Structure 1
Amino acid sequence: MKKLLVVAAAALAVCAHAQTYPSKPITIVVPFAAGGPTDRVARDLAEALRKPLGGVSIIVDNSAGAGSSIGSNKVAKAAPDGYTLLLNHIAMATMPTLVRNMPFKVDSDFEYLGLINEVPMTLIGRPDHPAKNFKDLTGWIAQNKGKINLGNAGIGSASHLCGLLFQNAVATDMTTVPYKGTAPAMTDLIGGQIDLMCDQTTNTTQQIEGKKVVAYAVTTPKRLTTPALKDLPTLQESGLKGFEVTIWHGLYAPAGTPADVLTKVNAALKVALKDADFLKKEEGLGAVVVTDKRVEPAEHKKFVAAEIAKWSPIIKAAGVYAD
């Protein structure tokens, strides 16, 4: 009888929690540095989520490092009550291969809440780069083998992954320069300390529009319609057949979070993804907000599993690790 009472009390507590959720501020952990493209998506989404979650405060917490595994582990080990969430990008699919001795499992230590957006990438160069278009760039690369510096936002970052593919595509090894986030990498690119970088449109569009960098191409199969990027060719049409990289972002909660809470967050996410201000901000940065079935938790998880299978052999072939 006593055991039944304990179980009943626990069930009532969970139910009461779900009914009152959220009753205090929610933290969205971003496993990358402040000022970068994923941080920007998180802050825009946090604002869009506030209204459908009853006006609650939403705090963005940047916990960068180790291929995003530090911030991700913070959420995996957090109380499963819906007040600590994770916003991560394609790293959810690369960490299982990229990070050795990872302290959590991507497939079982998180509840999947839905995909948010897909972000194209752009290949850009320092503002004084002698090559002003992709054809000239290929010639410059051929003439400067062993002297090219390719920046990225850190091992496991989107820019790092794109850089790996680009080096393979042009059959040229470059000196990879990892930074602690996209912001310092962009600063050095604009300052001429590095030659090239491949990064998300959420971080490069304003720099391209302001002519602070040289833009060569986008990584999508078709040209983009964003005003600042619409004249850029794709890498495929520029000669790199099959070159396609799109960085996606998703939302996660610790495993064991009550089902009713997950339902509330997923419902709020769907509303946020239709928010006019959020859509305008994403469109202006070249990002495409997800509207298909991947906004559903089960489809989100299935999609990530397929991405793990896609990126694992690429990372293994490159022999890089984020520990």
Structure 2
Amino acid sequence: METMNILGKKTCSSAAAIMIAGLFALCGQANAQADNFPNRPIKVVVPYPAGASTDLLARIVGQTMSKVLGQSVVVENRPGAGGIIAAEYTARSAPDGYTIMMTSAGILTNNPSMYKKLPYDAVKDFAPISIAAQLPLVIVVNNKLPAKSFQELMNLAKKEPGKLSYGSAGTGTSQHLAGELLKSMAKVDILHVPYKGGSPAMADLLAGQISMMFVQTASALPQVRNGKVRAIAIGSPQRSAMMPDVPTIAESGVPGYNSDTWYGYVAPAGVPQPILARLHAAIVAGLKENKEKLLNDGYVVDGGTPQQMAAAIKTDTSKWGEIIRSAHITADQ
């Protein structure tokens, strides 16, 4: 019996030694990959067309990333299906750090609640790298609309329920959900009009076909500066440095309102930690170097940690999931 026990202990010890040796080998392999990373161009997948705000951000930051990493950073646009095409492609890419995605928040936080089935798991299939920028949404109205303030706008909405309309880039987009959040918190009835993209929605706003829009500051700034639309209130917790005279919705009568969205970088799950760290450092360097330009374009630079991005995904999935379910929003036909 004693011999059995002694042999058993020796057997377990040998198995443990093999496991430890295997772990050291894996760690050594990961470190070797990181030491050699990158030795070829890095691809940044963008889920939207060239010229979109995600695309512009990826290209601006990518220039600095190239210098930091010593390799080309190439943007590849894979638009369509609410970001699903790009997300599935990224999730199925090799977990080696050479393919990453510039994602909008909604691809990871909204889609899981809007689609009955997705070809990717928003949590399990991706490794967060960093939120790149926060994007406040500002309410802009047609110049012919008599409301000159947020309170006047709400008074109009309450006086004639369902008459005021707001356009969005499509069902389930951040613009759409910002309106649903306002409807829920301010107890108003405004009509959602979805478009196939933000540009046709803005065209109809300028033409007076819709009353207002929730627009990312990066897209709203040129129209506001040219006097083509009027900015009423911003959905951030704080006022924007680019629009300091535009009050927040929270301070204008809807305490706690926050419709901020964000763009960030993710990699396929399984990318070695040392490689993720190198990518994170390069991204943060790109954000810092271009901070002033990005701010002028309406982006609020973030550059947080992977852990902070993971926490934001969890929080926003819960918040917007509740809005999506209560408003019965679905992208499935």
Q: TM-score, normalised by structure 2?
A: 0.83
Task: For residue 204 of structure 1, report the CA deviation from its aligned partner.
Answer: 1.0
Secondary structure of 1:85's aligned partner: strand
Contact 1:29 1:63 in 2 (8 A): no
Supply the AA of the counterpart residue of 2:285.
V
In structure 2, what is the Cα distance between the partners aligned to 1:304 and 1:111? 11
Query: In the alignment, does 2:332 pair up with 1:316?
Result: no
Change (3 A) 1:206 1:56: same
Task: For residue 99 of structure 1, report the CA deviation from its aligned partner.
Answer: 2.2
Which residue among 290, 294, 306 is the counterpart of 2:302? 290
Contact 2:133 2:262 in 1 (8 A): yes
Contact 2:44 2:73 in 1 (8 A): no
Query: In the alignment, does 2:266 pair up with 1:257?
Result: no
Per-residue displacement from partner, 1:192-232 (whole Å, max 9, x unpaired)? 22221112112111211111211100112332222xx1111
Change (3 A) 1:238 1:102: same
Change (3 A) 1:127 1:35: farther
Which residue among 31, 38, 41 is the counterpart of 1:22? 38
In structure 1, what is the Cα distance between the partners aligned to 2:250 and 2:296? 23
**Equivalence for 1:241:** 255
**Equivalence for 2:143:** 127
In structure 1, what is the Cα distance between the partners aligned to 2:55 and 2:75? 12
Secondary structure of 2:148's aligned partner: coil
Supply the AA of the counterpart residue of 1:249.
Y
Which residue among 187, 190, 199 is the counterpart of 1:183? 199
Root-mean-square deviation (Å) = 2.7
Query: In the alignment, does 2:102 pair up with 1:82?
Result: no
In structure 1, what is the Cα distance between the partners aligned to 2:117 and 2:37? 35
Supply the AA of the counterpart residue of 1:150.
Y
In structure 2, what is the Cα distance between the partners aligned to 1:33 and 1:179? 16
Query: In the alignment, does 2:296 pair up with 1:280?
Result: no
Contact 1:30 1:64 in 2 (8 A): no
**Equivalence for 1:303:** 312
Secondary structure of 2:262's aligned partner: strand
Matches within 5 A, 1:1-323: 17-66=33-82, 68-91=83-106, 92-226=108-242, 229-275=243-289, 278-290=290-302, 295-323=304-332
Higher Cα Rg: structure 1 or 2? 2
Q: Which runs of 5+ in 1 are unaligned?
A: 1-6
Per-residue displacement from partner, 1:71-107 (whole Å, max 9, x unpaired)? 2122112222322211112212222212220121111
Counting matched residue pairs gives 312
Supply the AA of the counterpart residue of 2:271.
T
Q: Percent identical across equivalent pairs?
A: 33
In structure 2, what is the Cα distance between the partners aligned to 1:44 and 1:160? 27
Moved more, 168-177 or 237-246: 168-177
Change (3 A) 1:143 1:35: farther
In structure 1, what is the Cα distance between the partners aligned to 2:52 and 2:208? 19
Secondary structure of 2:288's aligned partner: coil
In structure 2, what is the Cα distance between the partners aligned to 1:40 and 1:186? 19
Task: For residue 317 of structure 1, report the CA deviation from its aligned partner.
Answer: 0.8
Task: For residue 165 of structure 1, report the CA deviation from its aligned partner.
Answer: 0.9
In structure 2, what is the Cα distance between the partners aligned to 1:188 and 1:27? 36
Supply the AA of the counterpart residue of 2:322.
P
Secondary structure of 1:52's aligned partner: helix
- Structure 1 runs of 4+ aligned residues shifted over 4 Å read 7-17
Task: For residue 9 of structure 1, report the CA deviation from its aligned partner.
Answer: 10
Per-residue displacement from partner, 1:35-75 (whole Å, max 9, x unpaired)? 33333322322233221121413214142323x22321221
Supply the AA of the counterpart residue of 1:122.
V
Secondary structure of 2:40's aligned partner: coil
Moved more, 16-25 or 171-180: 16-25
Contact 1:23 1:56 in 2 (8 A): no
Task: For residue 270 of structure 1, report the CA deviation from its aligned partner.
Answer: 2.1
Q: Which runs of 5+ in 2 are unaligned?
A: 1-22
Task: For residue 19 of structure 1, report the CA deviation from its aligned partner.
Answer: 3.7
In structure 1, what is the Cα distance between the partners aligned to 2:313 and 2:105? 8
Per-residue displacement from partner, 1:123-181 (whole Å, max 9, x unpaired)? 01123323232233223323442333211112232211211112223323333222222
